[in-house]
Structure 1
Amino acid sequence: MSNGLFDDERERLERSERPERSERPGTPLAERMRPRTLDEVVGQDEILAPGKPLRETIERDLLQSIILWGPPGTGKTTLARIIADMTQ
């Protein structure tokens, strides 16, 4: 275990190097099927379609902060992971 101040950066880099779809055996199906890019996210075209303000902000790495609110299972964590992988 490391007590470095910037351990989160190391973890983010390790996540970005994860394999595309060849997960370890035993990885839950929900995790294996989780979208990994904005293009794979389904049902959010009104905010994430190409040319929409939120997508442009994410792609240009201009997003300062965001609050994701909604009931369980709506993709908040998935979107947060995608944003974390795409931005600094």
Structure 2
Amino acid sequence: MPPETIAAFAARCASADVRFVLNLAPVVSLAASTLRRADPLIVNEGEAIALLDRPSGAARSMQEPPSTPLGCWRRGLHLGDHHLGCESQSRAARRGR
């Protein structure tokens, strides 16, 4: 889905006071304001790393490596008081067997 469509849908949800759930797979460049509207933002470990490494202003430095579940969670905190779902790739692979 094009980023512009996601942003427009997120804005429409906000104006209608409707919860905006975003499973960002595959990762596309979105403005931090669009990401903040997602509650929850759902990504796997690889998607979280890809998202947070993009120069969109959504990432910020931290001590915890982003490849750990805690790192995904902590790096998601800057998105606002919303929820971030993050699954490790090894866990997802075990689930897919």
TM above 0.5, one fold?
A: no
TM-score using structure 2 length: 0.25
Bigger radius of gyration, 1 or 2?
1
TM-score using structure 1 length: 0.26
